[in-house]
Amino acid sequence: MPKITELLPDLPYGPAPEDAAAALTWLDAHNRVFSAYVGGQWVACPSTFATINPADGTELAQIGQSDAAIVNQAVESAQAALPIWQALGTQRRAELLYALARQIQKNSRLFAVLETLDNGKPIRETRDIDIPLVARHFYYHAGFAKIAESERFAGYGPVGVCGQIIPWNFPLLMLAWKIAPALAAGNTIVLKPAEFTSLTALLFAETCTAVGIPPGTVNIVTGDGSTGAALVDHPLVDKIAFTGSTEVGRIIRRATAGTPKKLSLELGGKSPFIVFDDADLDSAVEGLVDAIWFNQGQVCCAGSRLLVQESIADAFYAKIRTRMATLRTGNPLDKAVDLGAIVDRTQLERIGHLVYQGVEEGATIFQSECDLPSNGFYFPPTLLTNVEPASTVAQEEIFGPVLVAMTFRTPAEAVVLANNTAYGLAGSVWTQNIDTAHDIAAQIKAGAIWINCTNQFDASAGFGGYRESGFGREGGQEGLYEYLKPLMPTALGVQGASLPKAPNQDRTHKLYIGGKQVRPDGGYSFSAAGHEFALANRKDVRNAVEAAAAAQPAWANQSAFLRTQILYYLAENLRAAHGQLADAGISQQEFEDSIGLITHYAAVADKYDGAVHQVPLRALVYTRNEPIGICASFAPHGQPLLGLLAATMPLIAMGNAVIAIPSAENPLPALELVRIIEASDVPAGVFNLLTAPHADLEKTVAEHLGIDSVWHFSGTQGAMAIQELSAGNLKQTWCLGDGQRFDEPHPEFLRRAVQVKNIWTPYGA
Ligand code: NAI
């Protein structure tokens, strides 16, 4: 009698299809035609389009194409519902979020099957990953709904009406990531699902009605990009949250530039999967299966770039090929299938085209032999080796089941290759050496790092990108802030620029770059407040960026304790310069407030801790509040000393290097500050000062690829220019509008001075 383990290798798979009857009955109950969900009602759209089952190409239903009028109706409903939703209070809102979680659990099989039908992803994933994560998200945020008005979120309030636009790769999960925190924070919603995958959002709409969410609190407008654009452009929308392609992210950045709309973008990625020679290679292979073949590779944080240490590369590739041969691609409703269908023919063609291009550029291709169904959109698991770091397939997001592999020799080279991308969404590090793991995790520029694991998500840990992967976080406390706005007083305590008492001797003040006072490149000056100031130009911006780039890594790596000491010393030296600052026109009040402000950031520089998140997994998940890098800051015109300090000290305290552009109406106090900074042990290049009318430098600063973030506090016109012009490189921006107060420290200043990285380390002996 053979043992079962001897039989297993040759045992054929029999199909184990999930029954789709309940989902099809639900579609039939709607006559397979759907409308928009507005104000708690179904509202017919002027036209419809087909949604297809990608597993076999058949039509599932007709979906309403919402036009601008329907979007308008939905936004107005959301606005009307805002006071009703907020008046319910934290307890009732928490109960309703809990009720949503319970209903999703109760109907989890229906949601899972419908998602698989509409998207083509395997039922194993929708049933065991997507839907449980959706329920967890609503549970977790029911908790935030209860405490959203507590001391923990003091100084913040709801944003208002949130416009949310989501992609097709995780339709219901992305809906949950958007809707749960928005509701918890006290906002109302208009959500647009992706045109390929609207069905589970419509089933969710019914769930909202069933649990008693007040009409208008959640509105779902189906449609294509034009529906999304109408939502982005609507003047009554207070916040846009978008997940999707970087290209559309840029369009939305431009469209919202200069408006008061809050914006968060979760865009593409090309995440590294780094395998060191001391890794547990069999675990790493399983990790790769999850990294790149989960959801057919249609995952923004897919570990799509394998970086493997040269000494083990061939052995590791061999293991991958062996594993690939056992992956099963086919009918996504089959419970024994690993890969399902690609969402749409256009995506399938895109993947094929990119793979062809990769081979043309010299890559070696390996595809597992599998019988793909003849109908529907399928692509086999694919491995590309011999790939050059600069080649198209190593740089572009393929968004399909395609792994590209490269080798490295040293840890330092691994870091350089890992960061050789415009993106920064995630990274995965495989090594048994704890020193290597955490050292590399700290150096990868990405919002989520998975050590000896990959594609881990939880409602308690924020997810989001660095660089062109976007900005903002979803999940965790860091994610809730995306749906809150800082409550800062709007009237200025002391308005207008202070002016110097008496003109100084006739001399042109210089710029301050890399710890030195330097003449401007162009040799020109401008007059302000009775003085001549060096006129900075593009070349000076470039020089300042170089100086900041040389100084910033060391500054970021200094202990926060050292940064604290330097800021205290700066405050002390500022006090000693009372006379010069009074001559520069600084009032006694502004002077005292300035010292208070520096002391505040000295006090908090070593106290703005990260957190350890409580994920339902044996894993240590910790948050690092990392500096953004090189930040340019346009200071406000009112209160030239205090404004400049408010626009720079939080950034410096958190380990950024700053290029400060002081008030152009009276830059004199800024020049005095330079002398104090020179005497206060601030390392050269950490604080740079460029004087010029702000409009002269806005374009250069916004477009400079070396500048990671821009703060703009000197007027709406300039803020709009910065946001529009930085859409190409998607740098983070923070603009305080006219009349908004900057003179009192607020937690928002620190939040904007860092980006959150979550590092996951599972454990188990
Ligand atoms: P997309 O970015 O066009 O679509 C995402 C969402 O944005 C959809 O709901 C769409 O209707 C909406 N949209 C499109 N144009 C818009 C506009 N002008 N204003 C407002 N909303 C608009 O992504 P698409 O075309 O479906 O996929 C193309 C590529 O994008 C993929 O191959 C992949 O590389 C990337 N992608 C990345 C995702 C991610 O999670 N980061 C998700 C989906 C796609």
3-state secondary structure labels for all residues of 173-201: HHHHHHHHHHHHCCCEEEEECCCCCCHHH
Active site residues: 266, 300
In terms of Cα–Cα distance, which of 648, 633, 622 is closest to 756? 622
Partners of 62 in the β-ladder:
33, 50
Q: Distance between CA atoms of 716 and 159, rounded to whole angstroms?
A: 19
Q: Distance between CA atoms of 474 and 460, rounded to whole angstroms?
A: 9
Contact 481, 156 (CB under 8 A): yes
pLDDT value of position 273: 98
Q: Whose CA is nearest to atom 32 of ligand 1?
A: 399
E strand segments, 635-731? 657-661, 687-689, 709-712
Which pLDDT tens digit goes with each residue over 705-733?
Answer: 999 999 999 998 999 999 999 999 999 99
Q: Whose CA is nearest to atom 35 of ligand 1?
A: 245
Dihedral angle computed from the Cα positions of residues 415, 418, 422 and 427, in that order, rounded to the nearest 10 degrees: -110
- Centroid of ligand 1 to alpha carbon of 8 (angstroms): 43
Instruction: Give how far the C-alpha of residue 299 lies from the chain's centroid of Cα atoms, to the nearest Å.
Output: 14
Tell me the average pLDDT of the chain: 95
Query: What would the mean pLDDT of 520-524 be, rounded to a whole number?
Result: 95
Computed from CA positions of residues 291, 296, 302, 306, in that sequence, does the dihedral angle turn out positive or negative?
Answer: positive
Q: Distance between CA atoms of 147 and 497, rounded to whole angstroms?
A: 41
Query: What would the mean pLDDT of 435-446 be, rounded to a whole number?
Result: 97
Q: Distance between CA atoms of 183 and 100, rounded to whole angstroms?
A: 11
In terms of Cα–Cα distance, which of 349, 330, 690, 742 is closest to 545? 690
Partners of 403 in the β-ladder:
383
In terms of Cα–Cα distance, which of 251, 259, 202 is closest to 228? 251
The residues, any chain, with a CB within 8 Å of residue 326's CB and separated by 6 or more, are none
Instruction: Give how far the C-alpha of residue 284 lies from the chain's centroid of Cα atoms, to the nearest Å.
Output: 26
Which pLDDT tens digit goes with each residue over 69-107?
Answer: 999 999 999 999 999 999 999 999 999 999 999 999 999
Whether residue 132 is predicted with pLDDT greater than 60 in this model: the reply is: yes
Per-residue pLDDT band for 494 (boundaries 50, 70, 90) equals very low
Residue 4: exposure state from Cβ atoms within 10 A (0-12, 13-18, ≥19): exposed
Residue 738: exposure state from Cβ atoms within 10 A (0-12, 13-18, ≥19): middle
Query: What would the mean pLDDT of 621-626 be, rounded to a whole number?
Result: 96
What is the helix (H) or strand (E) element at residue 437, kind and residue range? helix 434-443
Ligand 1 atom closest to residue 231's alpha carbon, by position in its atom list = 20
- Centroid of ligand 1 to alpha carbon of 225 (angstroms): 8
Q: What number of CA atoms fall less than 13 Å from residue 553's CA on the CB side?
A: 6
In terms of Cα–Cα distance, which of 669, 668, 664 is closest to 645? 669
Whether residue 503 is predicted with pLDDT greater than 70 in this model: the reply is: no
Helix, strand, or coil here: 217?
A: coil
Q: Distance between CA atoms of 657 and 547, rounded to whole angstroms?
A: 9
In terms of Cα–Cα distance, which of 369, 364, 392, 390 is closest to 380? 369
Ligand 1 atom closest to residue 343's alpha carbon, by position in its atom list = 26
- pTM above the 0.85 mark? yes
Provide residues with CB under 6 Å of ligand 1. Answer: 165-169, 192, 194-195, 224-225, 228-229, 232, 243-245, 248, 251-252, 267-268, 300, 347, 350, 397, 399
- Centroid of ligand 1 to alpha carbon of 245 (angstroms): 4
pLDDT value of position 742: 82
Whether residue 699 is predicted with pLDDT greater than 70 in this model: the reply is: yes
Partners of 733 in the β-ladder:
710
Whether residue 495 is predicted with pLDDT greater than 60 in this model: the reply is: no
Number of neighbours of residue 299 by Cβ within 10 angstroms: 23
pLDDT value of position 490: 64
pLDDT value of position 12: 80
pLDDT value of position 107: 98
Q: Distance between CA atoms of 504 and 114, rounded to whole angstroms?
A: 75
Residues of the chain by 3-state class (helix, strand, coil), percent to 5: 45, 20, 35
Per-residue pLDDT band for 655 (boundaries 50, 70, 90) equals very high
Ligand 1 atom closest to residue 194's alpha carbon, by position in its atom list = 9
Which pLDDT tens digit goes with each residue over 182-223?
Answer: 999 999 999 999 999 999 999 999 999 999 999 999 999 999
Whole-Å CA distances, 179 to 3, 134, 301: 51, 10, 21
CB neighbour burial string for 561-596, b if at least 16 within 10 angstroms, e if fewer: eebbbbbbbbbebbeebeebbebbbbeeebbebbbe
Strand pairing report for 448-451 and 511-513: unpaired
